[in-house]
A = this chain, B = another copy of it.
Amino acid sequence: MLNERSLAITQDCESCPIRHRAVCARCESDELLRLEEIKYYRKFEAGQTVIWSGDRMDFVGSVVSGIATLTQTMEDGRTQMVGLLLPSDFVGRPGRSSAAYDVVATTDLVMCCFRKAPFEDMMKRTPHIAQRLLEMTLDELDAAREWMLVLGRKTAREKIASLLSIIARRDSSVNMRQVTDQLTFDLPLTREAMADYLGLTLETVSRQISALRKDGVIVLDGKRHVTVPDMGRLLEEAGDDADGGLFD
């Protein structure tokens, strides 16, 4: 399904002409074809590190399938996840040659990569690409700032509810049943990874998830499979407006 908001398209990455039209949806030039010549795929297993912070990074790319995380770590080992990369998310930074964060595959992961120099050349020749990247980066900036509110001001329970809301909204595994207003999905993160995203300990994550289960906000089937009987309730628990445009 072609998603106007994404730079690359999830499932049909093999049909690249379509996907690359998304890079530059308003542009019909043959630049689209040239992208074909400089792209390649990379596959990673769950747990593998895609790139270490500070390493030379000579590609940019986007997630085709699977989930990766961006994390920062202090010398003493405290780590904070600063981004969650879901299919169609873009990685890398034109104009910078080394990675700013650790990028780790949390599930099996396929990325569609472009060598950086040719990608930058093409960006110069194809103005819409820079504009598309600008839009996407602004969206990411908004998401990062929303997360700052979560990290700085929300309680542990609200943090968990916020994370579940985000995954419910964005994870492609989400299965929505329109009639009952129920959502089901698998948590793509361990308790520890959730803790790193939320600025909590894994024990607190575990306790709060148990509490939300006990209170009927979520239903757990095993440790990872989540059903949300009432999305409005979950959003209330997250401290957001209950009507806050879920699937806009």
Chain A positions within 8 Å of B, measured between CB atoms, are 70, 72, 74-76, 78-80, 82-83, 93-96, 100-101, 123-124, 127, 130-131, 133-135, 137-138, 140-142, 144-149, 151-154, 198-199, 239, 241
Distance between Cα atoms of A79 and B239 in the complex (Å) = 12
Q: Could you name 29 residue pairs across A and B whose Cβ atoms are closer than 8 Å?
A: A72-B146, A74-B149, A74-B153, A78-B153, A80-B149, A80-B152, A80-B153, A82-B149, A93-B138, A94-B134, A95-B138, A96-B138, A100-B142, A100-B145, A101-B145, A123-B131, A124-B127, A124-B131, A130-B130, A130-B131, A133-B134, A134-B137, A137-B137, A137-B141, A140-B141, A144-B144, A148-B151, A152-B198, A153-B199
Shortest C-beta distance, A16 to chain B (Å), equals 23
Q: Is the CB of A148 within 8 A of B95?
A: no
Q: Which of B74, B131, B149, B153 contacts A239 (CB 8 A)?
A: B74
Distance between Cα atoms of A8 and B95 in the complex (Å) = 20
Distance between Cα atoms of A93 and B96 in the complex (Å) = 23
